[in-house]
Amino acid sequence: MQTTTVSSIPQPQFSRAGIIWLKLAVLYLILGISLGIAMGASQNFTLRPVHAHINLLGWTTMALAGLIYSVFPKAGESGLARLHFWLLNLALPVMMGALTLLLLGHMGIAPVLAIAEIVAALAILAFAANLFLNLKQ
């Protein structure tokens, strides 16, 4: 009599960096959805750009970075990945707070917003450099 064994299906292994990025992305998703609900409930869409940036830079960009850094762990463990992480995670909350204040009429915050936007752009450049340098065929 022949016996067969069922082997377990291999589960994807996410890198430590990937898991951190994905957890932060989900927090931004919750924040973005909450802001969207609040805007809809109040019928005040003044903060629409904040909502969009939270969802795109916070949720989408961070989730994709987490997935990419899990698929390509060498890239996720690099110094450029750490630079990407810290620049984006320092810039994004400042950028969203400053944008909120600007949209609410506090024009003096514009220089802070500009600096935060530049830091966020540098984070994206670090991400791009990381992928070009560490992703090989």
pTM, two decimals, is: 0.85
What are the backbone dihedrals phi and psi of residue 15, each rounded to the nearest 5 degrees, phi first?
-70, 160
| Chain mean pLDDT for the chain | 92
Residue 118 has pLDDT above 70, yes or no: yes
Q: Please, which residues have CB within 8 angstroms of residue 116's CB and are 6 or more apart in sequence?
A: 91, 92, 94, 95, 98
pLDDT confidence band for 14 (50 / 70 / 90): confident
**Nearest-5° angle of CA 122, CA 117, CA 35?**
125
Mean pLDDT of 91-106: 98
**Using CA atoms, how far apart are residues 87 and 122, in angstroms rounded to an integer?**
7
- pLDDT score at 136: 81
Contact 123, 88 (CB under 8 A): yes
